[in-house]
Chain A
Amino acid sequence: MELVAVFVSAVLVQNFVLYYFLGICPFLGVSKKIDSAVSMGLAVTFVMTITAVVSWLINNLILIPNDLAFLQIVSFILVIASLVQLVEMFIRKVSPPLYQALGIYLPLITTNCAIMGLALIAALNEYGFAETVVFGFGSGIGFTLAIVLMAGIREQLDLADVPEPLKGAGIALIVAGIMALAFNGFIGMLT
């Protein structure tokens, strides 16, 4: 039950994009077509789940027992950067079709603050191992949900008559605001 709550919270209530404001750059940049939004979402979900596992292991097996918690920031960022590189090489070798689908989005993920945020928030909330895995996967699904919904709206938005200065990022942010308002309705689910 506890794990279900963590999952629902990560997907809907504390959505990474709409609640924590993490991963705004790809959210604004990639969310123009549904196909690329889905690929980006899948890539992020994949990396997030792995990052959650690896950062938990490092934090709880190496840093905390040795009283090195202040090295969290440096070690997490290095782990994420090398992890993304490894995942990229691994996928290219094992599953070329998946590699084709995720394509250029994988390297971009290194600088995606959502991944770093995931490692930090999981450490901050002091989640156990199972919770961390569910939290990582759920956050990825939540990110995918937000970015795909946004892409759907923006495909329609291209046909709408938007005032000149608001075109592009401006209107995208206002739409995101309305989406965040809608997602606010899910807060009641957890109490």
Chain B
Amino acid sequence: MATKSIKAEYLKGLWDENPVFRQLLGMCPTLAVTGTVITGIAMGLATSFVLILSSLVVASIKKLIPSQVRIASYIVIIASFVTIADQVLKAYFYPLSEALGPYVPLIVVNCIILGRQEAFSSKNTAGRSFIDALGMSTGFILALLLLGSIREILGAGTFLGYQVMGSWFKPWIIMILPAGAFMTLGILLGIALLIESKTKRR
């Protein structure tokens, strides 16, 4: 693991170990907040903030944490950063915080974050953990962006609130509903696996 270059450490989060498409982690927020692009991006940024800072802290103090209570310690660290993110959103971006509802506090149980602490930050240096967290965050934001774009364009005919489809277009209401979220993600997972198997064969 330590032999990887910094660049490879970052890039693996984008595709090879993409949290959503390859590791199937963090599915709840992925499905819940991608009704529009803007909520997806906001969620991605909030999650990245928590992931990057928690990774930095965990990697820096990993020697001080006894291994029996490490999970509890990680959870407290993560919960503190989630609280900060939640309070900042409430204070400065109130409409966005309303739209995201319970999903910002729920970042605390996002398996991506705890998973990275356990699998990576607890064994690697702070610098490397930072790069790893940055890569995972980028992969997560890209996944949310993709899902949010598909659902908003097909479900409302808009992108970030701007009309992109002509007046001939009849919005597919189903894409905004929970059902659309499940189906879109299911099909995207299928496409991701198809691409993976095609590139592997070569």
Contact = CB atoms under 8 A, between A and B. Distances in A.
Interface stretch (B107-115, B135-143, B158-166): B107-115
B32 A21 contact: yes
A21 B190 CA distance: 20
A177 B83 contact: no
Interface stretch (A22-30, A39-47, A86-94): A22-30
A124 B186 contact: no
Contacts of A22: 28, 106
Interface residues of B, number: 41
B187 A170 contact: yes
Contacts of A111: 109, 111, 114
A112 to B, nearest CB: 8
Interface in A90-140: 111-113, 116-117, 120-121, 124
A117 B183 CA distance: 23
Given A113-B106, A170-B189, A73 B182 contact: no
Given A21-B28, A73-B79, A77-B79, A173 B111 contact: no
A77 B187 contact: no
B191 to A, nearest CB: 7
Contact of B186 (A21, A164, A171, A184): A171
B66 to A, nearest CB: 17
B106 A117 contact: yes
B27 A117 contact: no
B189 A116 contact: no
Contacts of A73: 79, 82-83, 86, 105, 108
Contacts of B187: 166, 170, 174
B31 interface: yes
B60 interface: no
Nearest to A182: B179
A37 B161 CA distance: 41
Contacts of B109: 77, 111-113, 116
Contact of A180 (B80, B82, B182, B191): B182
Contacts, number: 120
Interface string B79-97: 1101100110000000000
B75 A81 contact: yes
A60 interface: no
Task: Please report whether the interface of chain B is mostly helix, strand, loop or mixed according to DSSP.
Answer: helix
A24 B177 contact: no
Contacts of A74: 76, 79-80, 83
B111 A170 contact: no
B171 interface: no
Contact of B179 (A28, A169, A177): A177
A116 B178 CA distance: 20
A74 B75 CA distance: 8
Interface in B63-80: 72, 75-76, 79-80
B186 A72 contact: no
A124 to B, nearest CB: 6
Contact of A21 (B31, B75, B80): B31
A163 interface: yes
Contact of B32 (A20, A165, A166): A20
Interface of A: 18-25, 28, 70-74, 77-78, 81, 111-113, 116-117, 120-121, 124, 163-166, 169-174, 176-178, 180-181, 184
